[in-house]
């Protein structure tokens, strides 16, 4: 596996593979890799001949007071994990390489509708930062396929819409959420949890499964289900951000006739913000 730090190096390497007729896959990450990230690399390997994983802690998607400076940078450990997973190229640019004029002077990509509400409401500007950097990575790598985790459900919806609206010739693949044995979705931010908090954290997924069972049984009382879940999380020690039952395609509030529903949830446990989701087909 080669580790590259400049766009010039990246393009030269990819050009060589393209000349050999290779299909290129991209896995964008912010590093501090865990089994969920490695599953994305493995998914990309199934769909492409050459897998490029990027590691870039993107300042544009962090808001005021969020954990940009504290976000773990674990490049050596990440390199070892990617090497073992059969990754081909690791692209790990500096912020100056990506934003030579600074993030504040960067052209931005705004994706309407699906970026509104949920995490978009709680983290203003977040999805503009995500859409912008993903567009830039798409242009840098020009992959045939890109893989994103379904744990960040709204993010995946934003990227899918952006790609459709801008006629981006890249296949977007969503990979299922990887979970711990107790149901907690694997996340880099799980490392922020204390031992006591970690024991409580699976309650988010339990709440989702309770709602999912009710929806699968035909319940259309969405507000009551949301309110009950928020109350249960608060009683457990969380500070709920949102629990929303939505149409899986539009991410708008669910209507009784919707056949595919997704429950989106975010809650703080101590200072750590956990997100998760569950899709139900009826």
Catalytically active residues are: 37
Q: How far apart are CA 183 and CA 207, in angstroms?
A: 11
Instruction: Provide the phi-psi class of 9: left if phi over 0, else alpha when psi is between -120 and 50, else beta.
Output: alpha
Burial class (CB in 10 A: 0-12, 13-18, 19+), 127: buried
Token pair for 246: 């939505």
Is the sign of the CA dihedral 145, 150, 155, 157 positive or negative?
positive
DSSP assigned state of 57: -
SS3 110: coil
Instruction: Provide the phi-psi class of 257: left if phi over 0, else alpha when psi is between -120 and 50, else beta.
Output: alpha
Return the closest-CA partner of residue 274 out of 235, 243, 251: 243
Q: How far apart are CA 124 and CA 116, in angstroms?
A: 9
SS3 51: strand
Q: How far apart are CA 211 and CA 218, in angstroms?
A: 11
């Amino acid at each position: 596996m080669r580790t590259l730090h400049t766009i010039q190096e990246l393009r030269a390497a990819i050009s060589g593979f393209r000349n050999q007729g290779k299909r290129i896959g991209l896995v964008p990450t912010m590093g501090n890799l865990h089994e969920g990230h490695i599953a994305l690399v493995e998914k990309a390997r199934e769909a492409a001949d050459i897998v490029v994983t990027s590691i870039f802690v993107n300042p544009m998607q962090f808001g005021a007071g969020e954990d940009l400076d504290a976000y773990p940078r674990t490049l050596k450990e990440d390199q070892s994990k990617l090497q073992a997973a059969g990754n081909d190229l690791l692209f790990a640019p500096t912020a100056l390489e990506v934003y030579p004029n600074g993030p504040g002077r960067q052209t931005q990509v705004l994706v309407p509708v699906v970026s509104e509400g949920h995490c978009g409401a709680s983290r203003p500007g977040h999805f503009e930062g995500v859409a912008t950097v993903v567009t830039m990575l798409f242009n840098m790598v020009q992959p045939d396929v890109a893989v994103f985790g379904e744990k960040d459900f709204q993010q995946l919806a934003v990227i899918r819409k952006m790609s459709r609206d801008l006629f981006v010739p890249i296949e977007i693949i969503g990979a299922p959420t990887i979970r711990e044995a107790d149901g907690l979705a694997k996340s880099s931010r799980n490392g922020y949890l204390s031992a006591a908090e970690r024991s409580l954290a699976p309650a988010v997924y339990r709440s989702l499964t309770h709602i999912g069972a009710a929806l699968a049984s035909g319940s259309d009382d969405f507000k009551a289900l949301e309110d009950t879940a928020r109350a249960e999380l608060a009683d457990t020690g969380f500070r709920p951000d949102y629990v929303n039952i939505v149409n899986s395609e539009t991410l708008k509030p669910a209507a009784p006739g919707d056949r595919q529903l997704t429950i989106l949830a975010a809650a703080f446990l101590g200072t750590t913000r956990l997100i998760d989701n569950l899709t139900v087909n009826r």
